[in-house]
């Protein structure tokens, strides 16, 4: 059985969650690595990513901000509700 299309409400909720996830990631960048780890920022983002069905980008520590932004834009293109 195939997946049923989302209702308008589900689409709005999905988009709101996707936007909230990006805000968490952006605000989390202001915290030092110590506090990001202490408060589990990567885990929180991974939980949101799992619900949204996208791979976690924020967990990658080898990327600079510009590279991470580019990966986020690329990931956003692949997401279809």
pLDDT, greater one: 7 or 4: 7
Compute φ and ψ for 8, nearest 5 degrees. Answer: -60, -40
Note whether residue 3 is domain-resident: no
Query: How many percent of the chain have pLDDT more than 70?
Result: 64
Packing angle of the helix pair 8-28, 65-78 (nearest 10 deg) = 170
Note whether residue 1 is domain-resident: no
Compute φ and ψ for 74, nearest 5 degrees. Answer: -65, -45
* pTM score: 0.60
Half-sphere exposure of 41 (CA within 13 A, CB side): 22
Contact 72, 58 (CB under 8 A): no
pLDDT, greater one: 44 or 78: 44
Note whether residue 2 is domain-resident: no
Number of domains in the chain: 1
Q: What is the pLDDT, as a whole number, of residue 4?
A: 84
Domain span at 64: 8-78
């Amino acid at each position: 059985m195939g997946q049923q299309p989302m209702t308008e409400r589900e689409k709005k909720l999905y988009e709101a969650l996707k936007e909230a996830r990006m805000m968490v990631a952006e605000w989390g960048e202001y915290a030092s690595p110590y506090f990001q780890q202490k408060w589990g920022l990567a885990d929180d983002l991974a939980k949101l990513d799992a619900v949204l069905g996208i791979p976690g980008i924020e967990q990658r520590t080898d990327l600079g901000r510009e590279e991470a932004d580019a990966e986020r834009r690329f990931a956003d293109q692949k997401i279809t509700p």
